[in-house]
Every structure is written in structure tokens, then in C-alpha cells.
Amino acid sequence: MKKTMKILGLTVFAIITIFGTSFFTDKITYSNWRIENNSQDKSTISWTKFEWTNGELDGKKFEKLTMNIPCKVDGIKNPVTFQFDLGSNLTRVYENTFSSLYEINPELEHHIKRISRLQFWSKSKYFEDLSISFGNYTATNKTAFVYKNYGERLKVKNQNDTIHLGTIGADIFKDKVLIIDYPNNQFAICENIPKDYQHNLIDIEINKYGFAILPMKIHDKNYRITFDNGSSIFPIITKAKNISNYSTSADIDTIQISSWGQIHGVTGKLIKDTFELAGQKFSNVKVYANHSGLGIDNETDGMTGNALFWDKTIIIDFKNKKFGVK
């Protein structure tokens, strides 16, 4: 269901970002996530719903701007959402937004810890014993990342207000199989690829940040493209200096976007030629040039998001490094 989601009178886009790619190298070693499937029937795929959010960028209205997951967090009575963002290497809680809950639940403050109690100057914090439930799944972590000084400071009046609390990133899906069914607004986490989804799989890379890197071939040249479902509306986006590898057409679009709170512009051209991405053929697709470099994975040749797969189901096997489209 398409919806423009409101959070305490603010649009979702006011406190989240289009590009999810971000890298953190804090001194703390964040724990691996433990995923439990609480479904009584383990023989079937356990689907969890996500919600599309709509909004505006640079005065233009967009549908399917971001993917949000309705969640429940232990210790918080308010319903919460997390952005579904495989371009974020760490699942995170937004400190400013979380601290907004202290007024109605002061005990929550004890969950936020510094790297060391002696390092009062440290910028790095973590959430101790974070448990997030969505659908039939529960994800738990002893030391989850807190994005310091990020997120909207809200006036939470009651426990019925929905809070957009953070981002669910690639680290939750380490060594798991993720299936995203775009037409039905649902996803599933599996230990192995289900039988019905084992066809048309290709080999991919999973880089050191846990990102899925897809192969692309255009003009008889091969490229490496990061899959980032936090970059929802852009079929392909790359650094400005690389744009001519994909298209030399005139610019036909310009959009001002936000990457983790910083505003910058991107320009779009049309790729008229047929190209292959992740084993699928496409043509007449827009490619965007990021002129600032913000939010771009500098170790690959560009990023692709949800736009090319809106009518499909995708499979990412993070353990065996496979990608499929159904």
C-alpha cells in the first residue's frame, strides 16, 4: 500500500536520508546480530511487511521514496519504524530521536553507553542489549550502534505516537538469505535459498562492509555496482567523473537530495543502449551523476536501488554470494 507516512507531524523524509551508504570505523567492535524466526511453521517462508513512504525532493513529488519497517523495540511502548537500508553498513538507533522518549520513559537512558566510561570525550556510543522485533523475526545485539547527534528531537506526548527510530542495515543480514518481494511489499530472512527461488542466480561480491556488489556490463565493459535499497528512486547513480561510462546524452533531470543530513545535487541522463545488470537486461534507463560524492560508495563504479526491480522479487544470499531475480 502506498502511503505518505507522518511521524508526529513531520514527513519521514525530514529525519531520514535518500542515500544510505555510510561507513563507521569506531574503536568499539559491534556485536553480530542474532536473528530468530519465531514462526511456529518453519517449513514456509515467513514474510514481513514493509511500507513505502512518499515525499518531496527539490519540490518534486515522489512515490516509493524509502522503505520503512514497522517494528517493536523491547522497553519502548511506542510503535516504531526503521528505514530498510542495505547501503548502511551498521544498523543504528538515532540518538536525538531516542532521547526524545526519556521524558515519558526515563529508564531508557540507561541503554545508551559510551565506548568507555572513562572516555567522556568519545563521540562513539552504543545501545546495550537492543532487541528489535518485526513480523515473526527478532533481531538482538549486545552492542548496537548509536548514531550520535542524529535524528529529529521530538516532543513525544504519549505512547501511541509512531517514532522513526533508526536504520536497519546490511549487518543484520550477515550470512543470511534476504528475499525482497517488491510487488507485495514484503521481505523474508532465510538460512538457505528456498527451492522456488533457486533459479536464475548469479555470482556477486559481498564486500568488507557487507554490501552486495552486482556485475554490470555496458558498451562491452564490466562494472561493479553496489545494491542499495536506501537509494530507492535512482535506477543507477555514480560519481560525476564516471557518468560518461554509461551515457553521453544531455542532462534531462536535476534533483537536490539529502545524504545523512547534507544537501547536494544530482543530474540525470538517459542510457539509451541496452545493458546487463545482475543478469537482467535493461534499456532507456536514467543514470544520475552525484557531483558531491556524498553517500557514494567510492570503492565501486556506482549504485543501483529499488527502481529497476519494483515489479520483481530479488534474492540476496549474503553467505554464498548469490543474487537472483524472480
Q: What is the band of 261 on the pLDDT scale with cuts at 50, 70, 90?
A: low
Q: What is the band of 291 on the pLDDT scale with cuts at 50, 70, 90?
A: confident
Q: Report whether pLDDT(80) > 60.
A: yes
pLDDT of residue 2: 37
Q: Which positions ≥6 away from 244 have C-beta within 8 Å?
A: none
pLDDT of residue 16: 37
Among residues 256, 281, 278, the alpha carbon closest in space to that of 267 is found at 256
pLDDT of residue 296: 63
Q: Report whether pLDDT(17) > 60.
A: no
Q: Which positions ≥6 away from 151 have C-beta within 8 Å?
A: 15, 94, 95, 96, 97, 98, 164, 165, 166
- Across the chain, mean pLDDT equals 86
Residue range 140-159, pLDDT digits in tens: 999 999 998 889 998 887 88
Does the domain at 2-180+185-190 match CATH 2.40.70? Answer given as yes
What's the rounded Cα separation, in Å, for the pair 277 and 217? Answer: 7
**Structural domain boundaries in the chain:** 2-180+185-190, 194-325
pLDDT of residue 260: 60
Residue range 108-134, pLDDT digits in tens: 999 998 765 444 444 678 999 999 999
| pTM beyond 0.75 | yes
Of residues 257 and 28, more confidence is placed in: 257
Q: Report whether pLDDT(66) > 70.
A: yes
Among residues 7, 157, 142, 164, the alpha carbon closest in space to that of 98 is found at 164
CATH topology of domain 194-325: Cathepsin D, subunit A; domain 1 (2.40.70)
Main-chain dihedrals φ then ψ at residue 270, nearest 5 degrees: -100, 130
Of residues 217 and 1, more confidence is placed in: 217
Of residues 56 and 243, more confidence is placed in: 243
Residue range 161-174, pLDDT digits in tens: 899 999 999 999 99
Q: Report whether pLDDT(206) > 90.
A: yes
Largest distance between two CA atoms of the chain: 60
Q: Report whether pLDDT(322) > 90.
A: yes
